[in-house]
């Protein structure tokens, strides 16, 4: 196990079960409507890969980005959204698949941007949610698990400083791990 992880919150088995249930819920809503799954990079990639393989219907899969800034460099709540230029949104029912909703700022901006492109509907599916941290109102139609309080979690797509995304479970990060700098890359000698 990764030594940076404190407590395992959701095991691989628990995650697998929940993803299957979510896929069934999603299918019952769309029922063969023209569905586009918009995967939020990078954190959403593992959850989305599992989810779409349990969707028993056709769907397009596209990749988007959203980030919000809370560091004082920009007005609070300003978000940068990147949508691919070659995607047709008009008339599509869009399911945005994300790893975790925190303040909700990036997802709110992302949903608005996709709606503006003429999507027939936009719904959000987030594997994790931290409702206690919400700063703006958004509808999250499908949620894997609501986390109590606001622990920082890693694994199953979620990173800390680029690491731990590939853990097959979701766990808390030890406080000590947050302070440790990333290992330096050593140049390989020929």
Interface residue list for ligand 5GP (CB under 6 A): 43, 68, 98-107, 152-154, 158-160
Please identify, using beta-carbon distances, which residue of 50 and 99 lies nearer to ligand 5GP: 99
Q: How many helices (H) and strands (E) does the chain have?
A: 4, 9
Part in contact with Mg ion (CB under 5 A); list of ranges 17-25, 40-48, 55-63, 179-187? 40-48
Among Mg ion, ligand 5GP, none, what does residue 2 contact (CB within 5–8 Å per kind)?
Answer: none
| Total chain residues near Mg ion (CB under 5 A) | 1
- Rounded distance, CA 79 to CA 75, Å? 9
Q: How far is the CB of 171 from Mg ion (least distance, A)?
A: 17
* Tokens linked to 105: 């700022």
Strand arrangement of the beta sheet that strand 5-10 belongs to: 5-10, 170-173, 153-154
Of positions 23, 43, 128, 173, contacts Mg ion by CB under 5 A = 43
Annotated catalytic residue 102 = yes
The dihedral built from the CA positions of residue 93, 98, 101 and 104, taken in this order, carries a sign that is negative
Of the candidates 71, 102, 129, 139, the residue annotated as catalytic is 102
Please identify, using beta-carbon distances, which residue of 43 and 155 lies nearer to Mg ion: 43
CB atoms within 10 A of CB 41: 15
Residues marked as catalytic:
102
């Amino acid at each position: 196990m990764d030594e940076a992880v404190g407590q395992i919150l959701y095991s691989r088995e628990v995650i697998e079960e929940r993803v299957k249930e979510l896929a069934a819920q999603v299918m019952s809503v769309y029922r063969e409507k023209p569905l586009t799954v918009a995967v939020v990079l990078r954190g959403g990639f593992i959850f989305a890969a599992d989810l779409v393989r349990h969707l028993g219907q056709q769907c397009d899969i596209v990749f988007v980005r959203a980030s919000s800034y809370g560091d004082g460099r920009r007005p609070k709540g300003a978000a940068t959204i990147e949508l691919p230029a070659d995607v047709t949104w008009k008339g599509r029912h869009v399911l945005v698949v994300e790893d975790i909703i925190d303040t909700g700022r990036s997802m709110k901006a992302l949903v608005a941007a996709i709606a503006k492109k003429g999507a027939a509907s936009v719904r959000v599916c987030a594997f994790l949610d931290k409702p206690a941290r919400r700063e703006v109102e958004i509808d999250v139609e499908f949620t894997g698990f609501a986390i109590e309080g606001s622990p920082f979690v890693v694994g199953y797509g979620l990173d800390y400083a680029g690491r731990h995304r590939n853990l097959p479970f979701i766990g808390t990060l030890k406080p000590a791990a947050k302070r440790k700098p990333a290992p330096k890359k050593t140049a390989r000698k020929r």
